[in-house]
Amino acid sequence: MKMARGFQRFTDRSQVFTSLVPAEARRPSKDCGTILYMERVSVSFDGFKAINDLNLFIDMGELRCIIGPNGAGKTTMMDIITGKTAPDTGRVIFGERTDLLALTEPDIARAGIGRKFQKPTVFERHTVFENLELSMAGDKRAWSLLGAELDDADRDRIMEVIGITGLSDVVDRDAGDLSHGQKQWLEIGMLLMQDPLLLLVDEPVAGMTHQEMDKTAELLTSLAGRHSVVVVEHDMDFVRSIARKVTVLHQGSVLAEGNMEQVQNDPRVIDVYLGG
């Protein structure tokens, strides 16, 4: 049972890369190339181009911030990557050669792309530990396994994720009783149970206190390296606190890209943000 599940995930993910290699060797490393590229992608809704000839490249293990005014196409971009929206034209490639446009939403998730939506969707009447346990298998079998004896590797992974997400003090608390910030971290933890290669996070700090924002910054920063992380966020103080490379989206295309300072001083970006 355990073997079968592990093997299943392994074979699913191996499609992303050309050969079967040990798990650790598959981890992104700095010079391992591109994890995602979107090339000349466009999509229209009723004649309105929400995404317009978009080119975007994400490196293995990088933490990328995507900013841009409302309606710039940030969420639509994530919808395209995760298979929720089909673009009219363009290519979207994951890893070396996985054509995401040929895959269904569940297959894209299985290939190693996790998405955190704005609103946390934890199982309120289960504990933090159980939530992580349930998200481990990612299917209905998990429910029948709940409460069954976990093997050491699974328990270790759950405890590792609890450590990463800083939820050690609330392991046995019902998710419904957590603070807003803790729920968000738990949901990130649930995504981590699938060990995604690429993690997409849409507006993670909306509604958070400053203290929670700081913890979230620390968490997302710590995930880069092992995972590639793409963060869409409006809060510029937050972006500044985690930013390495920043992409500014405007009218469905990349307006500017660079470090925070370059982007902030770009006249086109200033124009867009300060109402030119």
Ligand X SMILES: Nc1ncnc2c1ncn2[C@@H]1O[C@H](COP(=O)(O)OP(=O)(O)O)[C@@H](O)[C@H]1O
Among 75, 85, 127, 221, binds Mg ion (CB under 5 A): 75
How far is 209 from 127, CA to CA, in rounded Å? 23
The pairs formed by 75-78 with CB atoms below 8 angstroms and a separation of 24 or more are: 75/202, 75/232, 76/43, 76/50, 76/51, 76/252, 77/38, 77/51, 77/249, 78/115, 78/200, 78/202, 78/230, 78/232
In the numeric block, the tokens 């005014």 are attached to 69
The site partner of 50 among Mg ion, ligand X, none (C-beta below 5 to 8 Å per kind) is ligand X
Cβ closer to ligand X: 69 or 225? 69
Q: What is the total count of residues that contact Mg ion (CB under 5 A)?
A: 2
The site partner of 76 among ligand X, Mg ion, none (C-beta below 5 to 8 Å per kind) is ligand X
How far is 136 from 190, CA to CA, in rounded Å? 7
Question: Cβ 214 to ligand X, closest distance in Å?
Answer: 25
Cβ closer to ligand X: 76 or 182? 76
Q: Which stretch binds Mg ion (CB under 5 A): 49-57, 71-79, 90-98, 217-225?
A: 71-79
Question: Cβ 262 to ligand X, closest distance in Å?
Answer: 21
Cβ closer to Mg ion: 75 or 222? 75
Question: Cβ 231 to ligand X, closest distance in Å?
Answer: 13
Rounded (10°) angle between helices 152-164 and 210-223: 130
Cβ closer to ligand X: 10 or 45? 45
Q: And the tokens for 190?
A: 């649930």
Cβ closer to ligand X: 75 or 241? 75
List helix spans (H) across 86-209: 105-111, 128-137, 141-145, 152-164, 180-192
Question: Cβ 88 to ligand X, closest distance in Å?
Answer: 13
Q: Which residue is nearest to Mg ion (CB)?
A: 75
The site partner of 68 among ligand X, Mg ion, none (C-beta below 5 to 8 Å per kind) is ligand X
- How many other β-carbons are positioned within 10 Å of the β-carbon of residue 101? 15
How far is 50 from 43, CA to CA, in rounded Å? 6
Q: And the tokens for 55?
A: 């080119």
Question: Cβ 78 to ligand X, closest distance in Å?
Answer: 8
Q: And the tokens for 207?
A: 């509604």
85 lies in the binding site for Mg ion (CB under 5 A)? no
Cβ closer to Mg ion: 14 or 75? 75
Q: Which stretch binds Mg ion (CB under 5 A): 41-49, 70-78, 139-147, 239-247?
A: 70-78
Which residues of this chain interact with ligand X, rule CB under 6 A? 45, 50, 68, 70-76
Cβ closer to Mg ion: 164 or 236? 236
Which regions of the chain does DSSP assign to beta strands (E)? 34-45, 48-59, 63-67, 89-94, 98-99, 113-116, 198-202, 228-232, 245-250, 253-258
The single-letter DSSP state of residue 250 is: E
Q: Which residues bind Mg ion (CB under 5 A)?
A: 74-75
